[in-house]
Structure 1
Amino acid sequence: MATETGRVEVLVLGACEVKVDGTVVPVTAAQQRVVLAALALAAGEPVSADTLCTHLWPEEVPATGRTSLHNSIRRLRTTLADAGAAPVLETGAAGYRLRLGPDDLDAARAERLVGVARAHAAADERAAALVAYDDALAAWRGEPLADLAAAGWLTGEAERLADLRLAATEEWADLARGSGLADRAVERLQPLAEAHPLRESLRAALVHALHDAGRSAEALEHYARARELLVGELGTEPGALLREAHARVLAFDVGEEPTSSALVVVPAQLPSPPARLVGRAAAGAALHRSLSTVDAGPVAWVVSGSAGVGKSAFAARWCHDVAERFPDGQLFVNLRGFDPGGTPLSAVDALRALLAGLGVPAEQVPQSLAEMVGAYRSLLSGRRVLVLLDNARDADQVAPLLPASTGSLAVVTSRDELTTLAVTHGVRLLSLDLLDDRDAREVFSAHLDAGRLEAEPGALAEILDRCGGLPLALAVAGARVASGPHTSLADLAAELRDSSLDSLTLGHPTTDVRAVLSWSYDALSADAAHTYRLVGLHPGPEIGVAALASMAGRPLRRVRASVDELVRASLVTVRRPGRLALHDLVAAHAGETAESALGAEEVDEVRRRLVDHVLRATVGATRTIFATPLPFALGPAPDGLVAEPLDDADQGHAWLRAELPVLQRVADLAAATPGLHAHAWRLARTLNGYLCDRSSFTELVALHESGLAAAVAAGDVVGEADSRHGLGEALTELDPEEAAVQLERARDLFALAGDRTGESDVESALGRLHESTGDYQRGITHTTRSLDLAREIGDASGTAVALNNLGWLYSCLGDHEASLGFCQEALEHYRRIGDRGGESYALDSAARAYLGLGDLRRAASMFAQAVEIGESLGHHLNQTFNLTHLGDAQHALGEVDRARASWTAALDLLEEVGHPRAESVRSRLALLDATPGPAQAR
């Protein structure tokens, strides 16, 4: 194997490539190239598996996505190692990290050099700047990530790097004028101008370069083609930069330079901005990037977000910061879309205000809307004007107010996303997020002494958590403490705990979080308002649209239309297709609204429908993955309950993964609702296999504890027995002594109830418990009882499980012949009943017996079959065991590289779920690196 010392370079300014010691290493799989690009562009920061999955599957991550990602990482590591690369691809608790040197990513090197060039240019060091620009531009081999179907964040990075190239080329060309580089400028600018025909700044630079190269006729021809394209495509004349370049060429013969006239009226209407804005650098940068395109056509942005997120403050601050870029004036209108009066400003009244700002006397303002729009656009034509339209209600209100000519830029703020304007008017959309913890603390503490904050760190953390990154809530909370020197942070935290909305007001509607949210609620249609109330009755943290439809008892189509309205109003957000989330304060407001608008009986009925929906969907999802039957049957579904689309294992995995944070809250709701106690323990029982497979034992314990409390309170013996059974299995990894107590109590309860299947299952669980503690003989005793009971009652699944467990236990004792007999019989049973997951278990157990008997080839083959089945089913925990054992067999065969790959893949999965057995696999890899394996010894 090659020595792992090679330098790794990643190239993304063109097709994605990787080099080791200067030699291109072929990475042919598209998924591996996406992973490579995403990790490289993260600049040495760890990237989580979830984030990488969204890069690979932007629309929806498949159920097997994590497994596919791990396989891509494993194969990428192998490819790099085979090429002699240093081990730069690392796995940690926060995700994956690609450790590169400062110049080992072409994009990073190019950005650094552009920065150097700009610094030289600012210092009027033209020669040094030109050299740095040349070095930077040499890094681009084409369009960034040209060979990848990039989406989401990667698309944004590709666009940013493409824009950097264009901006750097234009800056270089501007410096190159008068430096004898006209021919080089033409050569460099021409292909880019052809690739970006609507970028007027690029076109203007090429006109200058052609003229300076003595090719004035071509310069005029290029201008004519550019004007024809702009008029034909955008319906607009060229902007100032291109007109200036054209005029320079025309004026050359008479030695004149073009002049421009000044505006008679230069409005300056922007509202006062906040002195300082916290946490909006990325949003501001997005708007800043569009400044270079205003000469190619009108630019408009809609800045949307929830009530209180700070849209108006952000827009005012940004507009003030760039006002000097718009020397012909800045206009402002408050459209009053969500004001307490409830009467938005009409488009006619808004245009009347805009025309007045442009100097049109009231008596000369046209009467009809169409004439007003014409006059407004005529006055803006050829001018560079910034227009701020605050608090818009809907697209119809905004559309007539948007500039239609080059040079102007409009910023619109609204709680509605106004997405139709993106289609009809090419408007760009920007949604403001909540603040992160650091920025939230800064907003809250703006007027507070640092000593007060440091004195009560726990109360501070609770306040920030309950405000949830909402700027209005944070500012009001901070002002409450600052204005009352005797109000401690602990006092405010207690108030927020009791009633967050009551505590977040300063006595004025604009500083009252409840009032501000109510303005959004009051603007909803009747259907959307009803759906909003149901959202308030869901325990969260995410809400499936199908669950909402079941709560409403309405068709899914109708509920989706209401959800779309809530999304547009920024009251809920879409986390992923079909799943919603909302801020805790919005949830509190929605809950209050539901409690006041709905009767107690209706509230109870809605909650019953939700719990029933979740239990049925959970049963359906787990049935697509596991063949093990459940010990209970579901009755007929209530009328109007909407079924989740769960037709195969991929859909089952996807639903469970998305719904997992919700299930504990639903179990608690069921346990607290009269008549639903059985739903609580049945929900936990249904999730037992899935959560065990993910090593989510803590979550499983909490679920079974809810079910147990509900069953005991209702006097349900079978429910209590089942809950103690599940609790004992979940505690096997966490607290073996308590696990034994719970399992033995469960066994006794099942025996009391005459449930032989339950009794058999618990004996099997006791066998696994004693195996985990190393007491193999006691494990065999319990498992043999389980086998006898299963055979007696004709339980085919229980029989297969007990046979396989016996095989494993005998292998642990070193009796591999006996082990093999049990495992082969278990394998036959699993195949007979069609249990693919069980087949994987039995293959792994049988392979271990063959390993003990010295038949390494057969063992490796069976382990590989188990890996293949586990991968297809997405059984995470079983997959880690299969991969670990496969690596053991490969190492014993002297296949060191294959063993390393198998163990590394197992370690990735174990570390992802924080499983304690990760350490044993890590030790295998460490030993492999420290000592020669069989192949190396030869």
Structure 2
Amino acid sequence: MGGRADDGTTRKPNPEIAELLRSLRGRMTLQALAERSHYSISHISNVERGWKVATENYLRTMDGVLDAGGRLLALLDDTTRPDTTRHRPSQLPPAPHVVGRDELLHNLDRFLDSHSTRTSAQVVALDGTAGVGKTAVAVAWAHHIAHRFTDGVLYLDMHGHSPNPKPVDAEQALFDLLQVLGTPQSSMPVGLDARSALLRTLLDGTRTLLVVDNVARTEQIRPLIPASTHCLVLTTSRQRLPGLTVHHDAHCVTVPPLDEPDAVNLIAEIAGADRVHAEPDAAVRIAHSCSSLPLAIRVAAERVAASRHLTLTALAAELSDDTRRLSVLSVGEPADAVRSVFSWSYDRLDASAARLFRLLSLHPGHEFGIDATAALTALSPADAEFGVDALVRAHLLVETAYRRYGFHDLLRAYAAERATTDEPEATSAQRRLLDWYLDSATTACTTLHPKNHDTPTMSRTEALDWLESEMDNLAAATACASRTGHNRVAFGLPKVLVDHLYWRNPWTTWFDALTTALHEARRVGNQDAAGWILRNLGNAYFASNRPGDARRRYAEALESHEDTGNLDEQKWCRIGLGKCASRTGDHTMADLHFATAQRLCEQTGDDKTKATATAYRGDVQRALGNHNAALTLLHQALDTFTTTNDTDSIVCTWAHIAAIHHDKGDLTTALARLQQAHTASLTAANPWTQADILHRLGELRLKTHDHPGCHEAWTQAIALFDHLDDPRAATIRTQLAALTEYRR
């Protein structure tokens, strides 16, 4: 009985091989050998009896399984082995034109040049989100370096994220590769390990480039990696593949979205440079709406190129609507639509990750942390972090900072669509998140501004850090609660945060939130809430140096609270109006408003707020040049602040007293009073005030020629402002540099 060799030539079974195989197997059963070698029992039996030809692949497998040390292969006549030298594959798809990837391609070249000496094949793994152009980069670079790989270039699409419902597994991929390299189907090894071993043998000593595109999992690629030090494996995936780094020292590179200039250049290449030149701002808006993803940009630009009547400005307006953006970008062939490309990633998620992806689109802010994720999804923090990490690895989320995450705009729009159609608990999940923000803000603000006998459950540093990291989200949560009618949060969050907002002054992010809350308060007829929000809009305008707008809001708020007889709010409206009058130089009107606030405080027995109005009257007297009257009023206010242990107000009042002594030319007393302000600031809740006092203290020490003291105060102020990410740090650095230069 004859058979065919691996190259298809006819030959007879070798009795020496059959005898050695039986000897090596010894007492091992045929069943056991079949399980280890992945050949059938009948096949093994026929070879051992001399009824079937033992191919090279078979003998190589048995050499390993039976630990024969190469004796089986040695019995094979070399002339019957398959000749693979005639196979020089060149399988790359056509070279694409890529825009904005010069630096990335250059860095890949540098890596290849600097890692020429290795003990195994080089592996470069490109990852990135859907539509970012990973395949284009991989194929473009492969064409660029193909001349270095004289034994050929192999290309496989593993269909890890595509309309194909089943990704290609490693065993099938090996089958395809071995066929390309000349292995006939009749000699194809059975089983993953045997095929992987044959691939390593065939590529041993060769210079071969293997491009494996669209990988979903590490398990798809690892058996395909050759041992030859002259081979390169280049993979692409929407997932990060850490297993390749751990086991194969892979060089992992994330392909980012395009920079804005490159994104605009891509629009110009497709839609026409003249049209971009005529509407440059619209081109930038289109790039931003497309999240700078090449796929989305190409779809958008091709719409313009196809219609001479569609302007870039009109397209930018269409794309500005979040609810329609994906529909605008889903034209042409279904496989090219942005929505379809995203769906391939989404459909590969397990049920828990898909739920997390949908629910996170309901977060009203641009970024979020693990605790917010846990609240939104009703998961434990550990489970929430595990799920978020999975989405980051899949490039469906972006890590924006340590343990902070977000979507790019197009993926958020897609996740929101899926939440609308597939998520039954969307409403309850979002309310759960909004409640968590209110409860967490209450805890943080109670720590910084304790009322009565409140017991803090976190440190002041933790409270400040949480409020700073979540400030934009708190504004977004307020607006979201207002839009969805969750008024406990819509009206409650600004009230809880009022003290922090007052001395943090993050008002630029709060105008829209407060305005939305005002509309909701008026819609439901809550006049007290409307008046309170109006007053805080006045605070926002005043802090933004818009005293005219602030005065109008304070006046509206005062009218609302006079209608309801709310004296507590009226006094604060009067104080706000007094501040506006003082800011615009109408000190007589300012003093009238502050005096009215004092009388309202007396009616309600509010000594603390009365002291605040008294201190403001002291500032008016200072502006009028009545220093002694100003000092009298400020010391009266200081006594009350000391009695009520209002540390922040004590700090500010000592600073104002110091300023009056400075006006009088008494720098020694001014310095002593400012030092008292600094001492008080060390126990105050407001780190911005502490930093500001240090800055002033440095300036006053400089005037008294205490240069070392000035240097010390400014250095401390810089450290505080840096920690708070406050731009005043740069100003003080400039002053400190000038002082250092002067002292040389």
TM-score by structure 2 length? 0.78
Output aligned runs, 1:317-716, within 5 Å.
317-497=140-320, 499-599=324-424, 602-626=425-449, 647-674=458-485, 676-716=486-526
Q: Deviations over 1:266-301 (max 9, x none)?
A: 433222221344235136415632432241233322
CA–CA separation in structure 1 for the residues paired with 2:525 and 2:616: 33
Equivalent in the alignment of 2:94: 272
Change in CA separation of 1:846 and 1:345 when aligned onto 2, cut-off 3 Å: same
Which residue identity lines up with residue 524 of structure 2 in the other structure? A
CA–CA separation in structure 2 for the residues paired with 1:817 and 1:286: 73
CA–CA separation in structure 2 for the residues paired with 1:686 and 1:623: 9
Contact 2:368 2:406 in 1 (8 A): yes
Give the 3-state SS of the residue equivalent to 1:575 in structure 2: strand
Which residue identity lines up with residue 113 of structure 2 in the other structure? L
Output aligned runs, 1:35-184, within 5 Å.
none
Contact 2:244 2:250 in 1 (8 A): yes
Output aligned runs, 1:749-764, within 5 Å.
749-764=560-575
Residue 723 of structure 1 and its aligned partner are, at CA, apart by 0.9
Contact 1:688 1:700 in 2 (8 A): no
Equivalent in the alignment of 1:859: 670
1:747 equivalent in alignment to 2:535: no
Residue 388 of structure 1 and its aligned partner are, at CA, apart by 1.4
Residue 907 of structure 1 and its aligned partner are, at CA, apart by 10
1:728 equivalent in alignment to 2:506: no
Q: Which runs of 5+ in 1 are unaligned?
A: 1-261, 634-644
Give the 3-state SS of the residue equivalent to 1:300 in structure 2: strand
CA–CA separation in structure 1 for the residues paired with 2:587 and 2:105: 61
Output aligned runs, 1:166-315, within 5 Å.
265-279=87-101, 281-282=103-104, 284-286=106-108, 288-297=110-119, 298-315=121-138
Residue 505 of structure 1 and its aligned partner are, at CA, apart by 3.2
Contact 1:678 1:707 in 2 (8 A): no
Change in CA separation of 1:513 and 1:497 when aligned onto 2, cut-off 3 Å: same
Decide which moves more: 762-771 or 718-727: 762-771
Which residue identity lines up with residue 527 of structure 1 in the other structure? S
Change in CA separation of 1:848 and 1:328 when aligned onto 2, cut-off 3 Å: same
1:737 equivalent in alignment to 2:562: no
Residue 834 of structure 1 and its aligned partner are, at CA, apart by 5.0
CA–CA separation in structure 2 for the residues paired with 1:324 and 1:797: 81
What fraction of aligned residue pairs are identical, expressed as a percent? 30
CA–CA separation in structure 2 for the residues paired with 1:569 and 1:847: 58
Output aligned runs, 1:881-896, within 5 Å.
881-895=692-706
Greater Rg by CA: 2
CA–CA separation in structure 2 for the residues paired with 1:286 and 1:769: 60
Q: Deviations over 1:172-226 (max 9, x none)?
A: xxxxxxxxxxxxxxxxxxxxxxxxxxxxxxxxxxxxxxxxxxxxxxxxxxxxxxx
Contact 1:681 1:722 in 2 (8 A): no
Give the 3-state SS of the residue equivalent to 1:580 in structure 2: strand
Change in CA separation of 1:505 and 1:766 when aligned onto 2, cut-off 3 Å: closer
Contact 1:306 1:415 in 2 (8 A): yes
TM-score by structure 1 length? 0.63
CA–CA separation in structure 1 for the residues paired with 2:376 and 2:437: 11
Give the 3-state SS of the residue equivalent to 2:361 in structure 1: helix
Change in CA separation of 1:625 and 1:737 when aligned onto 2, cut-off 3 Å: same
Residue 310 of structure 1 and its aligned partner are, at CA, apart by 0.5
Contact 1:681 1:706 in 2 (8 A): no
Change in CA separation of 1:440 and 1:870 when aligned onto 2, cut-off 3 Å: farther
Residue 880 of structure 1 and its aligned partner are, at CA, apart by 6.3
Q: Deviations over 1:592-626 (max 9, x none)?
A: 11111235xx4333332232222333333344444
Residue 379 of structure 1 and its aligned partner are, at CA, apart by 3.4
Contact 1:387 1:411 in 2 (8 A): yes
Contact 1:696 1:913 in 2 (8 A): no
Residue 354 of structure 1 and its aligned partner are, at CA, apart by 2.7
CA–CA separation in structure 2 for the residues paired with 1:540 and 1:882: 33
CA–CA separation in structure 1 for the residues paired with 2:538 and 2:103: 51
Residue 544 of structure 1 and its aligned partner are, at CA, apart by 3.2
Give the 3-state SS of the residue equivalent to 1:742 in structure 2: helix
Which residue identity lines up with residue 586 of structure 1 in the other structure? L
Q: Deviations over 1:154-188 (max 9, x none)?
A: xxxxxxxxxxxxxxxxxxxxxxxxxxxxxxxxxxx
The number of residues matched between the two structures is 652
Q: Deviations over 1:877-919 (max 9, x none)?
A: 535642453244223313468658978998996998789x999
Give the 3-state SS of the residue equivalent to 1:447 in structure 2: helix
Equivalent in the alignment of 2:19: none
Contact 2:551 2:576 in 1 (8 A): no
Contact 1:436 1:469 in 2 (8 A): yes
Equivalent in the alignment of 1:44: none
Q: Deviations over 1:71-130 (max 9, x none)?
A: xxxxxxxxxxxxxxxxxxxxxxxxxxxxxxxxxxxxxxxxxxxxxxxxxxxxxxxxxxxx
Change in CA separation of 1:324 and 1:871 when aligned onto 2, cut-off 3 Å: farther
Q: Which runs of 5+ in 2 are unaligned?
A: 1-83
Give the 3-state SS of the residue equivalent to 1:837 in structure 2: helix
1:843 equivalent in alignment to 2:664: no
Change in CA separation of 1:746 and 1:628 when aligned onto 2, cut-off 3 Å: farther
Change in CA separation of 1:901 and 1:358 when aligned onto 2, cut-off 3 Å: farther
Change in CA separation of 1:383 and 1:881 when aligned onto 2, cut-off 3 Å: same
Residue 820 of structure 1 and its aligned partner are, at CA, apart by 4.2
Decide which moves more: 779-788 or 458-467: 779-788
CA–CA separation in structure 2 for the residues paired with 1:866 and 1:434: 50
- Superposed CA RMSD: 3.8
One of 527, 549, 553 as aligned partner of 1:717:
527
CA–CA separation in structure 2 for the residues paired with 1:646 and 1:902: 32
